[in-house]
Structure 1
Amino acid sequence: MRLTILGGGGFRVPLVYGALLTDRAEGRVTEVVLHDLDAGRLYAVSRVLDAQAVGVPDAPRVTATTDLDEALRGADFVFSAIRVGGLRGRAADERVALAEDVLGQETVGAGGIAYGLRTVPVAVGIAQRVARLAPDAWVINFTNPAGLVTEAMSRYLGDRVIGICDSPVGLGRRIARVLGADPGRASVDYVGLNHLGWVRALRVDGRDQLPRLLADPALLGSFEEGRLFGADWLRSLGAIPNEYLHYYYFNREAVRACQQAEKTRGAFLLDQQARFYEEAGRPGTPALDLWNRTRAEREATYMAENRRTAGAGEREDDDLSGGYEKVALALMRAVARDERTTLILNVRNRGTLSVLDADAVVEVPCLVDAGGAHPLAADPLPGHATGLVCSVKAVEREVLAAAESGSRATAVKAFALHPLIDSVGVARRLVEAYTEVHPGLAYLE
């Protein structure tokens, strides 16, 4: 089976390859094609993968190319893990937004909209190429903003594109762990959009264990989301939010913390990964050891400003091990081998949330089999969550409309309607500033 990874020079690609190395079953991936626009990054990551494969019999063969059509032909699965504009673009997204006192995070608020506006046209082009060159391939989208990009690609690929994220998986795992439950046996009732969802129940043998967690302040304070949001707020919600909702519930504090940080997250990663790729590309450098050290630092500093604002402390060791690559492997196994499983994925709504139309991409538990991912029925969201989901989905639709039409006015509307941007004037200035720093937004007129 052939897997093509778009953005194959990306830093997290070794996580995916490491997961593939653990799969020894029939029908496994035997060939990995890395595609990237940057040959230097491809070389550095290929060196890491070569080191990972040492001593592993029949490790998947790895090839690398900068030719997209060559990468897509013959693919059974395509991972889309691109970053349009690179980390330099992410750092610019943050800088422009924070100058207007609004959030610059890459998937939430102004930064997410800017990233989406320059990513959607590229993602649509990829979807069209896949439909033409590899029509039977399944596309698994890692590219952020994951829900928005998956919805853009689904207009050309239908249900053959599925978005994944490790945040819901990590959240469910942490809740199960503090409750003393086996995460593999727990059923997580999670619903929302990407980076905008809530765990409403965690059932073990049919019994919901979440009320026990919400009633125990000590348990609530023993894991990341409990410390991040605070026990009182979680009890008020009656649910455990995805960590990214901290940007909504504590927006002013989060913006202030980002403004006061020595470097934004994007600027930190830009410097860190520039050093990694430079060193990893040198013959003789132990590339895998270097990658492991760099990844440990990267994971330990994830959402550091939010944790500092909340007094949540350092991340726990169990949360530094990644997770999205395991979701991707489980998804491929289920589709390729008809190994039925339930995963939280980004898929078309199909009536799961009655407040959204059938084609809106949502993040919900899905039954996965050879026919793809099928969203499971979900109870309605409470009013406060419904309002937020509908508001953010409306913004995503304006982003898609702006990307399709090239309308600058529609782009302004997308920014202005977002609940974390409270001014049409700010929205106009954001569009002006972003078009000045991002050549990829030159299409807006």
Structure 2
Amino acid sequence: MKLTVVGGGSTYTPELVDGFARLRDTLPVEELVLVDPAADRLELVGGLARRIFARQGHAGRVVTTSDLDTAVDGADAVLLQLRVGGQAARQQDETWPLECGCVGQETTGAGGLAKALRTVPVVLDIAERVRRSNPDAWIIDFTNPVGIVTRALLRAGHRAVGLCNVAIGLQRRFAARLGTDPAGLHLDHVGLNHLTWETAVRRGGPDGEDVLPALLRDHGDAIAADLRLPRAVLDRLGVVPSYYLRYYYAHDEVVRDMRTKPSRAAEVAGMERRLLDLYADPALDEKPALLAERGGAYYSEAAVDLAAALLRGAGSPYQVVNARNGSTLPFLPEDAVIEVQAAVGPKGASPLPVPRVDPLFAGLMANVTAYEDLALEAALHGSRERVFRALLAHPLIGQYEYAERLTGQLLAHNREYLTWA
């Protein structure tokens, strides 16, 4: 089995490699190819990857290359974890929207749109190369904004599933608070990527006992603290929102925080420098503790589970993924990409039935889905007017004066990545 990681020079990658090494019985990788144009980073990460495999007694081969076509040739699955423009572009995404009093964030709002415009054409080019090499290969997308990128891949007819680590992270935290095995907890997870709610937490599977009311009663303060939301908000909602919902539920508070604190991009850039220094140590043969602060917790477990299900029919029978809506959520278009529990196997991901969604959540989902549709049109076809329409539609922006100013700033900061600008 050959797996290729596009963006293999990312400081995330040792987290993924650690999962491949530990869970080799679930996903027996014979060749792991890390591809990245940043040769210096790639060699540091690749060296650590080989040492992790050796420490764990994994017989697989780790290959590094900057040649994409060679990397994807004959791959059974390709994982996408790229960042077009690197941390420098992320820093811009997180700062210029604040000038209009809007959230500066790399996956939602104006910054998220900028990232989508830079990313979608690059990902579609990669996917076409994968299809030429092996039309049966699966593409697993971890590249943000996952919902828009996965929708682009599916619209172009690629065998693709989107992946996010929010659900598995919440599952692990809930299990720790309940003192139980995470594998025994099934989340009723519904929404769009980075716009989700846990509407039930079930023991034993989709039909199990819902322990969410008890979880909120006994651990509501701690859960609220993790989400940086007031406990009263959780009590009134009766569900656990993703921490990304804070951008919507506490928008002005978030903007005030962002204006007075270092950006997440600046923090991550400093952390990456320290991580790369660690990776350069030839004695290091395991992922360092610092990596847990980088983000992407449990990404490896989720990625292994998903790849094993798609390639071997192994892994967990139900997984939270980003997949085509179809008729699952009737208030959204069939071609929308939703993030829900799905039955995953060699034929792909089939969303499980979802109970009626509260209009409080369904309305926001419908609004953001409309934005994502406009954002994808802008990413595929360009034009200042399409960018403006997407920004005007986004619930975190929504005013024509802001949308016009942000359109100008987005284009000014991203001209080198947008061939039509």
Structure 1 segments unaligned to the other structure (5+ residues):
300-320
Q: How far apart are the structure 2 equivalents of 1:18 and 1:442?
A: 36
1:195 aligns with 2:194: yes
Q: How far apart are the structure 1 equivalents of 2:417 and 2:409?
A: 11
1:426 aligned residue (386, 402, 408): 402
When the two structures are superposed, what TM-score results if normalisation uses the length of structure 2?
A: 0.93
1:405 aligns with 2:381: yes
The Cα offsets for residues 197-243 of structure 1, whole Å up to 9 and x where unpaired, read as 111111225211112233x2x42113356662222111211211011
Q: How far apart are the structure 2 equivalents of 1:93 and 1:288?
A: 34
Structure 2 segments unaligned to the other structure (5+ residues):
none
Alpha-carbon offset, residue 406 of structure 1:
1.3
Q: How far apart are the structure 1 equivalents of 2:227 and 2:93?
A: 28
Pair 1:257–1:28, CA change in 2 (3 A):
same
Task: Give the aligned residue type for 2:113.
Answer: I
Alpha-carbon offset, residue 61 of structure 1:
0.6
SS in 2 for 1:234: helix
1:134 aligns with 2:134: yes
Aligned to 2:294: 298
**Residues 69 and 129 of structure 1 are in contact (CA less than 8 Å); yes or no, is this contact kept in structure 2?**
yes
Task: Give the aligned residue type for 2:214.
Answer: R
Number of paired residues? 417
**Residues 227 and 246 of structure 2 are in contact (CA less than 8 Å); yes or no, is this contact kept in structure 1?**
no
SS in 1 for 2:107: coil
Pair 1:213–1:27, CA change in 2 (3 A):
closer
**Residues 192 and 364 of structure 1 are in contact (CA less than 8 Å); yes or no, is this contact kept in structure 2?**
yes
Task: Give the aligned residue type for 1:347.
Answer: A
**Residues 275 and 291 of structure 2 are in contact (CA less than 8 Å); yes or no, is this contact kept in structure 1?**
no
Alpha-carbon offset, residue 58 of structure 1:
3.7
**Residues 35 and 71 of structure 1 are in contact (CA less than 8 Å); yes or no, is this contact kept in structure 2?**
yes
Aligned to 2:72: 72
Q: How far apart are the structure 2 equivalents of 1:404 and 1:336?
A: 30
Aligned to 2:411: 435
Aligned to 2:88: 88
Q: How far apart are the structure 2 equivalents of 1:138 and 1:228?
A: 36
Q: How far apart are the structure 1 equivalents of 2:90 and 2:232?
A: 34
Q: How far apart are the structure 2 equivalents of 1:150 and 1:66?
A: 24
The Cα offsets for residues 70-98 of structure 1, whole Å up to 9 and x where unpaired, read as 11110001001110110000001111111
1:325 aligns with 2:300: yes
Alpha-carbon offset, residue 131 of structure 1:
1.8
Aligned to 1:13: 13
Aligned to 1:396: 372
Aligned to 1:269: 268
CA RMSD of aligned residues (A): 2.0
Pair 1:16–1:375, CA change in 2 (3 A):
same
1:177 aligns with 2:179: no
Aligned to 2:323: 347
Q: How far apart are the structure 2 equivalents of 1:280 and 1:213?
A: 39
1:385 aligns with 2:361: yes
Q: How far apart are the structure 1 equivalents of 2:260 and 2:105?
A: 15
Alpha-carbon offset, residue 66 of structure 1:
0.9
Show the 5 A alignment for 1:194-273.
194-205=193-204, 206-214=208-216, 216=217, 218-223=218-223, 228-261=228-261, 263-273=262-272
Q: How far apart are the structure 1 equivalents of 2:185 and 2:308?
A: 20
**Residues 185 and 202 of structure 2 are in contact (CA less than 8 Å); yes or no, is this contact kept in structure 1?**
yes
Report the identity percentage.
38
Task: Give the aligned residue type for 1:353.
Answer: L
The Cα offsets for residues 298-321 of structure 1, whole Å up to 9 and x where unpaired, read as 35xxxxxxxxxxxxxxxxxxxxx8
Aligned to 2:160: 161
Alpha-carbon offset, residue 268 of structure 1:
1.8
Task: Give the aligned residue type for 1:363.
Answer: E
SS in 1 for 2:182: coil
SS in 2 for 1:378: coil
**Residues 91 and 270 of structure 1 are in contact (CA less than 8 Å); yes or no, is this contact kept in structure 2?**
no
Q: How far apart are the structure 1 equivalents of 2:330 and 2:193?
A: 17
Alpha-carbon offset, residue 285 of structure 1:
5.5
Aligned to 2:45: 45
**Residues 4 and 75 of structure 2 are in contact (CA less than 8 Å); yes or no, is this contact kept in structure 1?**
yes
SS in 2 for 1:377: coil
